[in-house]
């Protein structure tokens, strides 16, 4: 698998793991966050090494890649025979080709509405709300 394929596959698995129950826009928003992190990787080393694959798999950044998260097994085993994963592959490809607008207004973080608010979100206003996710930027 070449680096382009690895980036598409890893981004698609991240989208699937984080937003498979969301609309197309909700899935696209996860791709937007990953690409926003890629763009800021030089200033924020915890965002990865400047590729989609490294941003997705940076330690403790996207819970679906955490080995103790049940989603990790799910995203490892899904194939493009699953129509939702096939959609995620298309979104990932379009995102990496630069075809998708940023629906998140530059967000680099998000969490699911109704879950425990992360400490980093305290006293910050979301820059977008898409589906069940609240999106944030300018988090130090």
Predicted pLDDT of residue 132: 97
Does residue 17 fall inside a structural domain? Answer: yes
Count the domains in the chain: 1
Q: Which of 62-91 are b and which e, b meaning 16 or more Cβ less than 10 Å from the residue's Cβ?
A: bebbeeeeebbeebeebeeeeeebebbbeb
- Residue 127 in domain: no
Q: What is the mean pLDDT of residues 25-52?
A: 96
Look up the CATH number of the domain holding residue 75.
1.10.10.2520
Query: Which range of residues forms the domain containing residue 17?
Result: 3-105
Q: What are the pLDDT digits (tens) for 55-102?
A: 999 999 999 999 999 999 999 999 999 999 999 999 999 999 999 999
- In 3D space, the residue among 102, 106, 95, 98 whose CA is nearest the CA of residue 40 turns out to be 106
């Amino acid at each position: 698998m070449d680096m382009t394929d690895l980036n598409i596959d890893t981004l698609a698995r991240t989208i699937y793991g984080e937003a498979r129950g969301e609309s197309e826009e909700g899935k696209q928003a996860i791709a937007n966050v990953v690409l926003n992190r890629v763009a800021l990787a030089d200033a924020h080393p915890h965002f990865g090494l400047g590729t989609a694959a490294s941003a997705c798999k940076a330690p403790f950044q996207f819970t679906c890649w955490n080995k103790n998260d049940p989603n990790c097994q799910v995203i490892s085993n899904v194939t493009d025979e699953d129509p939702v994963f096939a959609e995620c592959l298309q979104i990932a490809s379009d995102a990496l080709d630069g075809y998708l607008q940023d629906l998140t207004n530059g967000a680099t973080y998000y969490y699911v509405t109704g879950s425990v608010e992360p400490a980093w979100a305290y006293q910050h206003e979301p820059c977008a709300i898409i589906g069940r996710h609240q999106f944030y930027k300018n988090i130090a």
